[in-house]
Amino acid sequence: MPLLIKLLRFFNSHCREIYFINCSLICHLSFTQKKYHLHHRTHASWWSVTLKTLTQTDTQLFHWLFGLTAKRDCRWIIWMSRTGDGHLYLLLGLLLWLFEAEHGALFLYSALLAYSLELPVYLILKKFLRRQRPCDLLQNFSAHITPSDKFSLPSGHTAAAFLMASLIASFYPSMLILVYCWASIIGLSRVLLGVHYPSDIIAGAALGLSMSYFSLSLL
């Protein structure tokens, strides 16, 4: 009984302190929660505005570039784009393998490894991102060519071109400027023909370069 009386006295003497501690904790948690939600909304708003601005800039740049070829003969641009279809890469690899004894075989193996890594990543990104091509999304718009598939991000032609350019530059450094100019023209041609946004080209170049560097690091 005395023990119970002591406990009751202790509780009565400290209940006010406990009450204030609980109130302080509740206020602190409430303030922290409000601060978190405010930060989350601010971050989401910033990201939304940034993404909207980038999309608008991307679309405006596309319209400007495509306007350079509107109602003009684009046969040379189409021809340049077709150099990135893939046949040239296979032919180049086989010729180097047959007639270039120093680096030809290793170049071909590197190219086969790089493309075997790049292709699945490219297909997954296209299926996951599902970005419509400008010729399918924009109203009253017609591209100069019919694309081979529905989605645009990343640009497969650009990815393959920069992958090949990176490999060639790695094995034959004297060709660096030439092959990167060629890859850049292929990427630009895809925008001028109306089947890709500029951001698709940047993403494709990044994919091709990264897969090239990764494959070379494995050898």
CATH code of 114's domain: 1.20.144.10
Partner residues linked to 132 by β-bridges: 151
How confident is the model over 175-198, as a mean pLDDT?
95
Q: Catalytic residue at 196?
A: yes
Domain count, the chain: 2
Residues 205 and 130 in one domain: yes
Query: d(Cα 181, Cα 43) in Å, to the nearest integer?
Result: 39
Q: Which of 67, 101, 122 is the last residue of a domain?
A: 67
How confident is the model over 26-49, as a mean pLDDT?
56
Lowest mean pLDDT among 6-15, 122-131, 180-189: 6-15
Predicted local distance difference test score (pLDDT) of residue 136? 79
Single pTM value for the model: 0.77
Predicted local distance difference test score (pLDDT) of residue 3? 44
Higher pLDDT, 12 or 188: 188
Residues 90 and 188 in one domain: yes
Predicted local distance difference test score (pLDDT) of residue 147? 85
Higher pLDDT, 63 or 116: 116
Is residue 139 within 8 Å of residue 69, measured between CB atoms?
Answer: no
151 three-state secondary structure: strand
Does residue 56 have a pLDDT over 70?
yes
131 three-state secondary structure: coil
Residues 35 and 96 in one domain: no
**Predicted confidence band of residue 172 (pLDDT cuts 50, 70, 90):** very high
Does residue 51 have a pLDDT over 80?
no
Residues 126 and 102 in one domain: yes
Among residues 52, 90, 68, the alpha carbon closest in space to that of 188 is found at: 68
Query: d(Cα 63, Cα 190) in Å, to the nearest integer?
Result: 13
Backbone angles phi, psi at 195, to 5 degrees: -110, -5
Q: Catalytic residue at 103?
A: no
- Residue appearing with tokens 């630009």: 188
Question: Residue 45 CB: number of other CB atoms within 10 A?
Answer: 10
Percentage of the chain lying above the pLDDT 90 cut: 50
Is residue 142 within 8 Å of residue 170, measured between CB atoms?
Answer: no
Does residue 8 have a pLDDT over 50?
no
Lowest mean pLDDT among 65-74, 83-92, 204-213: 65-74
Q: Which domain holds residue 140?
A: 73-218
Residues 147 and 183 in one domain: yes
Query: d(Cα 162, Cα 91) in Å, to the nearest integer?
Result: 17
